[in-house]
A and B are shown apart, each in its own frame.
Chain A
Amino acid sequence: MATCTFWIDGKKYEAEEGSNLVDAAKENGVFIPSLCYFKHIDPPLGTCRTCTCKINGRFNPACTESIREGLKVEVNTPELVDMRKALVEMMFAEGNHFCPACEKSGHCDLQHMGYELNISTSRFPHLFKDRLIDYMPKRMVMEHNRCIKCRRCVEEVFTADKKRVFMYINRGNETMVGIDYEQEAKLTEIEAENAMKMCPTGAIIVRGKSLSKPFGDRPFDMESAQKHFHHPITEKPKVANFEKKTIATVSLAGCFGCHMSMLDIDTDILDIAELVSFNKSPLTDIKTFTQRCHLGIVEGGCCNTENIETLKKFREMCDILVVMGECAVWGGLPAMRNTIPLGECLEEAYLNSVTSEAGENTVPYHEDLPKILDRVYACNEIVKVDYSIPGCPPSPNHIWKVVKSLLWGEDYSLLYSEFKYD
């Protein structure tokens, strides 16, 4: 086939005519993120839109475009970078992607794309849909809350006699991927596991099967797919004169794990102790702000009225407000209750537990107890948040790099392996 000339962001490249734009760009050292594009699926699915570029002046997914002479492509304009980010954020907000509790974490393409695009929080409110978790199939459990409807399983999972196992059902925003139970039962264990691996999220899981690999050994833990596309970052010299600053910290509806992660810089905390004074914090005995602080660090989301008051106070008393950890950033695991009426949660905990007294009829409710909110709220739903640090918990390096940068303007580069959702 003929070689033709095409343009990306004003630079001239060459590629074989008819080759896929995503691949051609990659071969020429330009990374176009993609979720549902796989070389062997032809025609490409084009469902996820993560590879959206401006092609000859129009927004289109790059994966459905093939190289032809004179093609003009825009990839890394600020508008496009942000648009692709928004598309992936939308996928996170639309489903229930609780990375810390998902067996696909570390193997998940959606999560990986979040890392590659540096998504620390979604600009869209989480919908907290309560879709079916389908336990009917023989080998699989279908977690519809995690399905991004990429159609990959529909196109690629077949039984030995070439029958489809998955197919779209319903229409519009009711669309979901259904399973043909009869056909699914014909899959071998290995075929079922392959379907699980193929799914870009944790929607298809094989019963009792954990992909669980040690952290660090999972496919998306350590190295960015963009590793070879990047120019090395030259770090600015470190700031020599540190002015003493004041920090306040709090754990709202969190588990204290983020605070523990802060302590995991180990003996470096001895140096920090000389540079920073901690005001209101569970690590000190200062219970109400005694002064305005340079930085407030919040762990946990809001699950009761007191969390809301505390968070507002933090916003009021701190120049910069950082939220750390999945719970603070978007609700995290406690937000799993957002799909369940509060009354049911209380009943289960206080009235119907295995060790409840017979005829128990007390549920805590008292003037000295804050009222529990209808659902768990992310911090940015209550106050303006200046910076979000994802992770469960975030790595100590991530937290302190951000803190030092915010307090003293120290430049930092975050390693791919330091930015995680679990």
Chain B
Amino acid sequence: MKKKITIDPVTRVEGHGRVTIHLDEYGKVEDSFFHIVEFRGFERFIQGHPYWEAPVLVQRLCGICPVSHHLAAAKAIDQLVGVDPEDLSPAAFKLRKLMHYGQIFQSHALHFFYLASPDLLFGVDAPVEKRNVFAVAIENKELARKGILMRKFGQEIIQAIAGKKIHGVAAVPGGMHKTFDPKEREYFLNGKDIPNINTMIEWSQEIIEFIKGYHEKNRSMLDTFAMFPSGHLGMVDNSGNLELYHGKLRAIDSIGNITLPDVSTNDYQKYFLEGVERWSYMKFPYLKEVGREKGWNRVGPLARINICNAIPTPLAEKERQVFVAFTGQKVNNSTLYSHWARLIEILHCAEMMRDLLHDDEILSSDLVREGKTRHEGIGIIEAPRGTLTHHYQIDDKGMITRCNLIVSTTHNNEAMNQAVRWVANNVISQKGTITDGMLNQVEVAIRAYDPCLSCATQALGQMPLHVELINHQGELIDERFKNG
């Protein structure tokens, strides 16, 4: 008898998704899907609105990385008023970067401490009531406290620049509307009111030590769990180093061959297409040249570490080298290494924030530049979860006529489906009974991508996990919610 397993909702991810796994009469996995179940329609309803509203409007796509959407839209809107990223005033450029690093820092801290840490601390088979941040807070208060304060630090950097921790406003067409205050800078540097930036760097290093220990202990599992070949996509600067605010797009295949050779972000349309499947509201982007089947890429921390030549801050670069040495200099295709890569980025962001906080230019009031208006603007940025694209077209009067958004998590759509398939084939297939621990492993695989399904459903919206067993006549035989 055939079965369908449904995991609904997938939890401890940002948003709402569902997994279905189809088994044949022998309990062998026939197929598996990761469905995104919501649709919001931003691309359509933003049409008709004036372009200068876009950065404020579209950041409502996501409450976890609103800064990324705000800045990607801001970069696109800059172009509409004739200001390319290179033309921004140094102060505006640095303030945007500072805010962006604050954002990635807090988002990564949120993912690691609030969402993923229960799996790492208590194991994937831990009882359901233990697998949450509140249990971490009770059992390991010091770790929880550090995680919370790290997120707080990033959130407060954002607040200092955008006025609010979530959905603030900072960018205006061609620049920024507020500079940094010397008092604010002091707040982050002196450490009287909140742990200072040097403490953030120390704690980032501590948590990297923790994850290294975890990798030493669990190496064979981490190497093989949800390992599959894929492309990797991200942004690099002119020397091929890791870049998160503005640079060139680079992609490699699973063994390191270049598939997208450091191209300008303005040309993204030449290289990317998106496929649609009937069973998910989230699309499937891929490299036109390589094709739908093999041209999809992972994005996010692991992809970025894989594609870059180096990280331009010393402590994080040292950690990158340790990471690369650990895996034998090869492109890393193992899903669970994302956590380690993410923590290296946390350290990089902390170092970048420290440098920017010490830079006097963030106090300058030279904030806005003007140029000659254009009809098309493209803003691409490395959001915490990967490459994020905003693209707007306007008419002569400034009305948005077309909008295209490719959200980071969309690039990871195929990768997450592959990860689910891996767990289905290797953990669930032909096992007879399906345990809660097995199902959590499906989620552990998805969670490693830190999917932001609220973003991904810009087009749409939300993600729960529920597994259904369906027989070969398509009848629902058994259905399990993870804690069911």
Contacts and interface: CB of A to CB of B under 8 A. Distances in A.
B60 A101 contact: yes
A174 interface: no
Contacts of A283: 11-12, 114, 132-134
A28 interface: no
Interface string B34-51: 010111110111111110
Interface string A170-194: 0000000000000000000000000
Given A207-B398, A285-B128, A103 B52 contact: yes
A44 B56 CA distance: 35
Given A256-B15, A349-B41, A362-B277, A285 B398 contact: no
A278 interface: yes
Nearest to B461: A253
Interface in A227-286: 251-261, 263-264, 266-267, 269-270, 273-274, 277-278, 281-286
Interface residues of A, number: 87
B397 interface: yes
Contact of B278 (A339, A340, A364): A364
Interface of A: 100-103, 133, 135-136, 141, 205, 207-210, 212-217, 251-261, 263-264, 266-267, 269-270, 273-274, 277-278, 281-288, 290, 300, 303-304, 306-307, 332-334, 336-337, 339-340, 342, 344-350, 353-357, 360, 362-366, 368-370, 372, 392-393, 422
Nearest to B443: A285
B272 to A, nearest CB: 5
A268 to B, nearest CB: 9
Nearest to B474: A367
Given A100-B56, A274-B138, A357 B275 contact: yes
B131 A364 contact: no
A270 B144 contact: yes
B240 interface: no
B285 interface: yes
Contacts of B278: 362-366
B33 interface: yes
Contacts of B168: 215
Given A253-B461, A255-B61, A208 B39 contact: no
Given A210-B172, A344-B44, A368 B35 contact: yes
Contacts, number: 296
B166 A363 contact: no
Contacts of B169: 212, 214-215
Given A254-B454, A288-B483, A133 B64 contact: no
A353 B404 contact: yes
B193 to A, nearest CB: 12
A370 B397 contact: no
Contact of B11 (A253, A277, A282): A282
A100 B398 contact: no
Of B16, B35, B170, the most chain A CB neighbours within 10 A belong to B16
B281 interface: yes
A264 B165 contact: yes
